[in-house]
């Protein structure tokens, strides 16, 4: 009998998720809290130079962008809601480009009850973004609109969990999400597509690994529904039991099951059982090693033995690192998760390997955490990490969860092996952040292999209460095996913002973008300068 969770998945489109947005807003009226309405108007004037190949002449132009913005915020003990709407009206000084009006929507609400033992969240957004990195990952509405895809996301999740002080802990998570992506004006051969993700996870077990009997059960199920090809259905489960032997030493036994099914030769099934010893120290730290026997089914069945290691070291409440060395159907696997947090400095490290549809719905790997923002900010550069876990929000501040956007959005099934490192510093007038990302996508239904190396650095220096200087460097190196192509992309931005009064700011910014490819027809350069005036009503 399979150890995986069995779940009935609805086959209808989840466009009804839009109704949940209405329910989220209506529920606010039943909860006492604070409402904030923040309308603003942003005027940008751009001058730019663009050159797409090394031998081409510079394409020079100018544009003006008028952006009305409305942010509606609601904050109470059990309900937090953010609704943001922007409309970018772009006017060009030449006939080469067409004036346009683009709407951006961001909605996020979270309702909790019974001391956050029940949490229901709904989110929706609409924007324009690159979905094929070969067209230029730094393309935007001003000079690269023809390469942007109109993308809409809907997501809802329900979390049920036991009280944190209970000896036996349990949790159930249910998620449904949808992405709708339209083809850009410059055809990227991906077409229009709707994808959906249904997921469920369940855990039950002892709260802590102590010198007493310990046990834990985890299971997860997901189904990714695609317009092209068949759905990807994944199931996994694991069980671990620890029996105390001596002081801080336990005998551990475990069993695992995993299957990925897409009705092709890639369909696989992996099972393992093992036994070993575990050493426990501190409040939650442990190291265990087990000897395992596995059975794998992919075209043909194979059986063998291997060693596995699971280690969690948490010397303080603010620092921890977990390393898991195991085996899956494709061979040896590694998972790493670590964090370090001081009052002004924080670091986060993660690495994992998983099979997923590359449509951005699975956000497990790219979550950057909660940031403090002034209103419904759309950019992480305008936010900062809370300096302490008990940080009290100032008036107008809200917590927002940021997720690193995937470079690609497609319907392809990939085996993704990727890691990220985030370092953030915020003290007095200086805020700095460094992000390093490395990933490898193996397209399981074709012979394609894409590799990404990325480094980004952001800095903000408050020279005075009225003047702020900011700068950012973003570097991407992308390798496409099928095209035998390697692109090196770099973006440099810098700007100075001056606060005129409580209602308005003015800023001057510059940007330099360069893409160098081993296939010179994809070389690109852009220089840009723009002046912005922001008025808040």
Q: Which of 268, 187, 209, 281 is nearest to 234 (CA)?
A: 268
How many whole angstroms separate alpha carbon 481 and alpha carbon 447? Answer: 8
- The domain spans of the chain are 14-536
Please compute, for residue 459, the number of CA atoms within 13 A of its CA located in the half-sphere on the CB side: 10
List C-alpha distances in Å: 76 to 28, 29, 389, 469.
Answer: 9, 11, 19, 34
Per-residue pLDDT of the chain (537 residues; tens, 9 = 90+): 333 333 333 344 444 444 555 555 555 454 567 888 989 999 999 999 999 876 678 889 999 999 999 999 888 888 989 899 999 999 999 878 899 999 999 999 999 999 889 999 999 999 998 888 888 888 899 998 999 999 999 999 999 999 888 889 999 999 999 989 899 998 888 888 899 999 999 999 988 887 788 999 999 999 999 887 788 899 999 999 999 998 889 999 999 999 988 766 567 889 999 999 999 998 889 999 999 999 988 777 889 999 999 999 999 888 999 999 999 988 899 999 999 988 888 899 999 998 888 776 655 444 555 666 665 444 555 566 565 555 566 655 666 655 555 567 888 888 889 999 988 888 888 888 899 999 999 988 888 899 999 999 989 898 998 999 999 999 999 999 988 999 999 999 999 999 999 899 999 999 999 999 999 888 999 999 999 999 999
In 77-117, DSSP assigns E strands to 79-92, 100-113
Q: What is the DSSP string of 367-422?
A: EEEEEEEESS-S-GGG-B--SSTTPPPPTTEEEEEEEPPPS---S-EEEEEEEEEE
List C-alpha distances in Å: 536 to 342, 377, 497, 499.
Answer: 34, 13, 15, 12
Sign of CA dihedral 257, 258, 261, 267: negative
**What token pair was written down for 289?**
């090693």
């Amino acid at each position: 009998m399979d150890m995986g969770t069995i779940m009935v998945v609805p086959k209808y489109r989840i466009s009804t998720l839009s109704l949940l947005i209405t329910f989220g807003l209506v529920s606010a009226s039943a909860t006492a809290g604070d409402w904030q309405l923040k309308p603003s108007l942003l005027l940008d004037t751009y001058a730019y130079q663009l050159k797409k190949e090394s031998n081409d002449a510079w394409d020079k132009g100018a544009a003006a962008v008028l952006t009305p913005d409305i942010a509606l915020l609601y904050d109470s003990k059990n309900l937090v809601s953010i609704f943001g709407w922007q409309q970018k009206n772009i006017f060009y000084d030449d006939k080469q480009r067409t004036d346009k009006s683009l709407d951006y929507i961001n909605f996020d609400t979270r309702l909790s009850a019974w001391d956050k033992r029940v949490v229901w969240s709904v989110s929706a957004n609409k924007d324009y973004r690159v979905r094929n990195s070969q067209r230029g990952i730094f393309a935007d509405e001003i000079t690269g609109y023809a390469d942007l895809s109109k993308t809409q996301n809907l997501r809802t999740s329900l979390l049920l969990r036991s009280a944190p002080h209970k000896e036996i802990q349990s949790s159930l998570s249910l998620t449904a999400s949808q992405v709708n992506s339209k083809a850009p004006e410059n055809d990227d051969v991906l077409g229009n597509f709707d994808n959906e993700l249904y997921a469920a996870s369940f855990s039950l077990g002892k709260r802590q690994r102590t010198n007493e009997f310990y046990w834990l059960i985890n299971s997860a199920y997901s189904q990714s529904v695609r317009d092209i090809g068949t759905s990807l259905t994944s199931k996994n489960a694991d069980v671990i039991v620890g029996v105390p032997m001596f002081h801080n030493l336990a005998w551990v036994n475990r069993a695992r099951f995993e299957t990925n099914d897409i009705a092709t030769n890639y369909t696989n099934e992996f099972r393992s059982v093992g036994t070993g010893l575990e050493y426990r120290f501190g409040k939650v730290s442990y190291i265990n090693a087990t000897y395992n026997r596995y059975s794998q089914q992919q075209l043909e069945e194979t059986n063998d033995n291997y060693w596995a290691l699971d280690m969690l070291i948490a010397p303080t409440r603010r620092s921890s690192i977990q390393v898991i060395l195991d085996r899956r159907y494709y061979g040896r696997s590694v998972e790493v998760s670590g964090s370090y947090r001081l009052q002004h400095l924080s670091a986060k490290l993660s690495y994992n390997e998983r099979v997923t549809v590359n449509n951005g719905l699975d956000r497990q790997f790219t979550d950057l955490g909660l940031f403090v923002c002034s209103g419904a900010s759309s950019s992480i550069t305008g936010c900062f990490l809370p300096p302490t876990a008990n940080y009290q929000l100032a008036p107008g501040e809200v917590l927002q969860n940021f997720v690193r956007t995937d470079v690609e959005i497609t319907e392809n099934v990939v085996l993704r092996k990727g890691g990220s490192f985030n370092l953030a510093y915020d003290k007095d007038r200086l805020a700095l952040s460094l992000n390093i990302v490395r990933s490898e996508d193996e397209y399981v239904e074709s012979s394609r292999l894409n590799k990404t190396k990325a480094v980004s650095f952001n800095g903000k220096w408050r020279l005075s209460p009225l003047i702020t200087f900011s700068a950012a460097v973003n570097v991407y190196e992308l390798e496409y095996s099928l095209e035998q192509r390697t692109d090196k992309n770099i973006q440099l931005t810098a700007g100075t913002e001056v606060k005129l009064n409580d209602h308005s700011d003015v800023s001057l910014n510059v940007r330099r973008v360069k893409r160098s490819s081993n296939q010179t027809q994809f070389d690109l350069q852009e220089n840009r300068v723009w002046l912005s005036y922001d008025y808040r009503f």
